[in-house]
Structure 1
Amino acid sequence: MTGVPEPMSPDARRALEQELSTLRTERDTVAATLRGTDADSPGDLADQADELQRATEAARLDSRIAVIEARLAQAAVAAPPAPGVVGVGSTVMVRFADGSTTAVHLGEIADSTDSALVTADSPLGRALLGRVAGDPVSYRTPEGPKSAVVVSVGSPSGEA
C-alpha cells in the first residue's frame, strides 16, 4: 500500500478474519495428512508425489495466513485518517479530466462486494490517499497517465 500502516474498514476486517479462520482450518486438515504418513516406509512414487503436493498446499496456506495476519496487525496499529483526508474507508467524490464525477469508496480487496470500490493499492487509490478536497491527483493506467480532482471526502461511514 503506502508503506505506512493503513486502517481497515470493519467489513474488510470481518472478511479477512473469516478468510483467516477458513485457511487455518484447511491448514490443520492438510497438516494432519502430512503427520499421518510413515516417514520410514519407502512408499511408491505416487505416494511421494501426493506427499509433495500436500506439503506444497500447506506452504501456500501458510503464506496466505501470514499475509492476512500481517495486514490485520498493521490495521490494528494504524490511526484512521484525519477528518477530510482520504484514507482507507473514505468515500471520495472525484472529478475526472473528461468532466465526469464519480463517488468511489477507497477500501481493501476484502470489500469487493462494493460496486464503487477502488482499492488502496490501485493506481487511483494510491493517488487519492492522504489528499483533501480540491487536490489534483495524477496516476498511471495501462492506457496512460490520467488526472482527476478530489471534489469531496466523506468519512469511513460513507458520507461524502
Structure 2
Amino acid sequence: MTEKEVFLTPEGLEKLEMELEEAKVVKRKEVADRIKQALAFGDISENAEYDQAKNEQAKLEERIAKLEAMLRNAVIIDDDEISTDIVSIGSRVTVLDLEFNEELEYTIVGSAEADPFEGKISNESPMGKALLGRKVGDTVNVQAPDGTIKYKIKAIMR
C-alpha cells in the first residue's frame, strides 16, 4: 500500500517536527519512567499502573509512527508557487455566504494541518474540495448536513 502525500505549509512541517521530537525525547522517557516505577510495585499481573503505562506507551509509539510517516510523505507548499488566479492548497480565500451575506476567510491546507477554529480547512473537506481550482467570481455549492450552501469567491491570496 502506498502512503498518500501529506500537504504541509512550512509552519505545519515545523510543528510536526517539533511534536515528533517532543514525543521521542521527552514523552518516551516519561512513559519509560512510569513503567519502571510501576514494575517496582511488584506483581504486574494485577498492576493497574503498569497496564496504564504500557497502554500509554503503545499510543505514543503509534503517534510517533504516524508522525514519521506524515513527514516521510510531506509535500511542502511553497508560498511563491501559490497562484492568486485559482484556489490551490496554500491559498487564502475570502468567500461570501450568499444566504447570510457574510464574508468568511479560509486557508486551504492539507488534512494534517486543518484547524477550522483557526480558519484552516482541509483540501479534503467538502468546502476545500469545492473551492480547489476555482477563480474569483465563481460560485460554489458546498454540501453540508443541513443542505447545500452557496458561496461566491471574492478574493484569492497567498
TM-score, normalised via structure 2 length = 0.69
* AA matched with 2:134: R
Please identify which structure carries the higher strand content: 2
Partner deviation per Cα, 1:15-44 (whole Å, 9 max, x = no partner): 222222222221243135546776xx9716
SS of equivalent residue, structure 1 residue 52: helix
Rounded Cα–Cα distance in structure 2 between residues aligned with 1:69 and 1:100: 40
Q: Deviations over 1:54-77 (max 9, x none)?
A: 111111112222222222222237
State the Cα deviation string for residues 114-160 of structure 1 (Å, max 9, x = none): 743334343312322333334432222233221223333222xxxxx
In the alignment, what sits opposite 2:51?
A: 52
Please give the alpha-carbon distance, in whole angstroms, between the structure 1 residues aligned to 2:44 and 2:58: 23
Corresponding residue of 1:140: 143
Match of 1:103 among 102, 105, 119: 105
Identity across matched positions, percent:
25
One-letter amino acid matched to 1:130: G
Match of 1:70 in 2: 69
Which stretches in structure 2 are left out of the alignment for 5+ residues?
A: none
The count of aligned residue pairs is 150
The TM-score normalised by the length of structure 1 is: 0.69
Is the 8 Å Cα contact of residues 38 and 49 (structure 2) preserved in structure 1? no
Q: Secondary structure at the match of 1:76?
A: strand
Amino acid at match of 1:154: M
Written as runs of structure 1 = structure 2, the 5 A alignment for 1:79-118 is 83=83, 84-98=85-99, 99-107=101-109, 110=113, 112=115, 115-118=118-121
Deviates more, 1:117-126 or 1:105-114: 105-114
Task: Considering Cα pairs closer than 8 Å and 6+ residues apart, tell me whether 1 or 2 has the greater RCO.
Answer: 1
2:152 aligns with one of 138, 141, 149: 149
Q: Is the Cα–Cα contact under 8 Å of residues 96 and 147 in structure 1 kept in the other structure?
A: yes
Unaligned runs of 5+ in 1: 156-160
